[in-house]
Amino acid sequence: MLYFLPLSTLLLLPSILAIPTPPSEPLPLLIWHGLGDNYAADGLHSVGDLAVEANPGTFVYYIRLDENPDSDKSATFLGNLTEQIAQVCEDLASHPILSIAPGVNALGFSQGGQFLRGYVERCNIPPVKNLVTFGSQHNGIAKYQICGATDWLCKAYIGLLKANTWGHWVQSHLVPAQYFKATNETTGEPTKDYLENSNFLADINNERELKNTTYAKNLASLNKFVMYVFEDDTTAIPKESGWFAYTNITSGEVTHLRNRTIYKEDWIGLKQLDEKGGLEFKTTEGGHMQLDDEVLTDVFKTYFSPPEEVSNQLANNEQELLEL
C-alpha cells in the first residue's frame, strides 16, 4: 500500500532535511578523590581540565564533604561513610545543574571509586551512566598500608585503626576501617567480625544474608563499569581488589570475580552488567595513582564522549521521511 504525504509536508521536506543535526552535549562528570586528597587540589583540577579538553563543554563537579579543603581532606580519614554518602546523595540531587541532567559520568580515584559505587547503589540521583575507577578497593583491603611515606596524619589514623578495627567507634569514625575486610584464608570466606561490624563494605557488597535488591538493580543499570588496577600497586593491598577479586595474602593466589559467589549469585548486579557487555577490567602501568595524561584522555574519549542518542534519533527520523 502506498502512502502519500500532504502537499504542505512535501513542500517542507527539503527544509526539514537541511536542518543540521545538533551535536550531543557531554554529560556532567563527577570526580571523587582519594585518601589524603581534597576537592580543590591542583592535581585533581588538572584532571578535570583534561576532561574538558577531551570533551568540550563538560561540566565537572568535584565531590566534597566540606567546602573547606582542609576539612574535606580530614573527612577522607575521619567520618562515618554511611553518613558521608548520604550527604553526597543529597548534595547531588539538589544541585542546580546536576539535578536536571539526564545522567552523569563518574570517575573515582582510589577509595573514591568504591564510594562512587556506593552512591550508585544507594541513591543514584542523578543516575550515573558510566563509572570508571582507578586503584579502588572494591573487595576491601587486607592491610592498612595506604599512607605516603611522609603523610603523618594518615599514619596517626592507621595506628588507631590497627588497635581496634571492629570496635563501634572505629567503624563509625575511621574511614579506611570501613572498607577493611577480614577473611578466612583457608576458605576465602569473610569472618564473623567483618560481617557483623563492617559499617560500609559488607553492606555495599551485599555480603550479609539479607540482600538489598536495589543495589543490584542500580549497579546493573550502568552502561559501563570500568575498573583499572595499577600493575605495581603496593599501596592498595591487595591490588586485585580493584577488580573485585579475592587474593590470599599468604599464598598470593587470586580468585577472579567471575569465579566468586558475589558474581555467580549476582549480589550487586555485576553478572547482569557483564552479560550485557558493561563490565571491563583494565590494567595501567605504575604504582598507586601514578597516572599520565594519555591514559586519562583515553578514558575521557572512550567512555565519557557525548551520547549519540539525539543525533541517531534525528537521523532515523530523516530516514523515515525519505522512505515515505
Residue numbers annotated as active site: 110, 233, 288
Nearest CA to 236 out of 307, 150, 104, 144 is that of 144
Angle of helix 213-220 relative to helix 111-122, nearest 10 degrees?
Answer: 110
- 97 and 59 Cβ atoms separated by less than 8 Å: yes
Helices then strands, counting H and E runs in the chain, come out as 14, 8
The separation between the first and the last C-alpha atoms of the chain, rounded to the nearest angstrom, is: 11
Say whether 180 sits in a helix, a strand or coil.
Answer: strand
Length reported for the chain: 324
Compute φ and ψ for 129, nearest 5 degrees. Answer: -95, -45
Separation of alpha carbons 212 and 31, rounded Å: 26
| Residues facing residue 141 across a β-bridge | 180
Q: In this structure, which amino acid lies at residue 286?
A: G
E-strand ranges in the chain read: 29-32, 60-62, 104-109, 128-134, 224-230, 246-247, 254-255, 279-284
Q: Which long-range contacts (CB under 8 A, 24 or more apart) does 52-56 make?
A: 53/297, 54/297, 54/300, 54/301, 54/304, 55/26, 55/300, 55/301, 55/304, 55/305, 55/306, 56/26
Q: What share of the chain is helix, strand, coil (3-state, %, to 5)?
A: 45, 15, 40
Say which residue the cell 552479560 belongs to.
275
